[in-house]
Structure 1
């Protein structure tokens, strides 16, 4: 008997290595240059990289007299391109313990729910041949509006559960950030915090249901 009907995974920091801050910073600067801003304020660049809100994005664009939709389209394009380059050249890759997915119970449905672009998640699943493990997947659309739907908003978790026809009470969400754990809590799922090297010392403001060191620990939970 399995413990859950569905197990949902974050992508960056759980299935694959997270994007380096330097890569995201360079992509953001390239986006500014693409719309005619050669030397953006470092605080503005950092705000974009750090998880910008729609309100802050509007303020930043106003500072340069930019149309937000035009700048954001450039940012999303350069951000995704920078990620795909690193996946293709091997400087960013999947974690070795992703092999644990093959040991999950056959009757458990799996999905991916990420704050990254939907098209980037689609690339990751194809590039690393992970598609067969997952019954559904969601990233966000490349729109300003999608920023309001990022975790800890439960929007994409709810959609994944609907796709799998399972209740939140019978599902588990695997993440590497406080927003992941908070989103799971708000959606009614039990949660697992994976203490990867990049988040090993993080102090969470919300309590996950479980903590594990790697995805083999998740497999054990699924088999309880």
Structure 2
């Protein structure tokens, strides 16, 4: 079984925190005034093409800016966890009852994912984990690209699995990897209206455990 991290195992980062980290990155490379739509583009899932266009607008070298952005973003996330502004979900403990080998695949930085697993003593639950490297190229590999999901499946010697996520891109990535998906309706995505259909649609990780154990879950099949 494979799990997303932010919004599944731990609470997701706040948009305001990510925006502040992005402003800090711009300041580091000499830009004090940034258009709101550029901040929004970076926070909500910037592509390589978007990043190139944004950096051109401010006469910045993309590699230099992205290095600064990733540094400040990772720092802000660690600070949020240490301050208690972000935490793990209470139902994560139920994953210890799973008999299947498990892994984590996240669009967050690999180093941030390692920090989270260590801070909340989650490492024993998972055989493998992948986040993206702090490079521009990693933007091409993040979900919905199934690249990291496929790497994790290879580590687990599995060609069938469940991927548990909280976003439409998670469902698409699972489908592209040829595995079933679980859309987990945490509070931040409780009323999300998806344009894709997950294999299962549930509200807690306890539902996921029941699915993995082969038990029925009321209304867990996607609507």
TM class, shorter-length: over 0.9
The DSSP-based 3-state class of the residue aligned with 2:103 is strand
The DSSP-based 3-state class of the residue aligned with 1:114 is strand
1:52 paired with 2:46, answer: yes
* Cα displacement (A) at 1:102: 1.3
1:13-52 pair list within 5 angstroms = 13-52=7-46
What is the rounded CA distance, in whole Å, between the counterparts of 1:12 and 1:120 in structure 2?
10
What is the rounded CA distance, in whole Å, between the counterparts of 1:185 and 1:152 in structure 2?
9
Deviations 1:116-166 (A, max 9, x none): 000000000000000000000000000000000010001000000111111
1:61-100 pair list within 5 angstroms = 61-100=55-94
What is the rounded CA distance, in whole Å, between the counterparts of 2:184 and 2:19 in structure 1?
25
What is the rounded CA distance, in whole Å, between the counterparts of 2:96 and 2:83 in structure 1?
25
* Cα displacement (A) at 1:114: 0.4
Q: Which residue of 2 is the match for residue 3 of structure 1?
A: none
Aligned length: 214
Deviations 1:38-92 (A, max 9, x none): 1111111111101000001001001111000000000000000000001111110
Q: Which has the higher contact order (CA 8 A, sep 6+)?
A: 1
Q: Which residue of 2 is the match for residue 180 of structure 1?
A: 170
Q: Which residue of 1 is the match for residue 217 of structure 2?
A: none
* Cα displacement (A) at 1:32: 0.3
What is the rounded CA distance, in whole Å, between the counterparts of 1:193 and 1:59 in structure 2?
33
Q: Which residue of 1 is the match for residue 218 of structure 2?
A: none
Q: Which residue of 2 is the match for residue 156 of structure 1?
A: 148
CA RMSD of aligned residues (A): 0.6
* Cα displacement (A) at 1:181: 0.3
* Cα displacement (A) at 1:103: 1.5
The DSSP-based 3-state class of the residue aligned with 1:116 is strand
Aligned match for 2:103, one of 107, 111, 127: 111
What is the rounded CA distance, in whole Å, between the counterparts of 1:116 and 1:174 in structure 2?
15
Q: Which residue of 2 is the match for residue 134 of structure 1?
A: 126
Gap regions ≥5 residues in structure 2: 215-223
What is the rounded CA distance, in whole Å, between the counterparts of 1:44 and 1:211 in structure 2?
33
Structure 1 residue ranges (4+ consecutive) displaced by more than 3 angstroms after TM superposition: none
Gap regions ≥5 residues in structure 1: 1-6
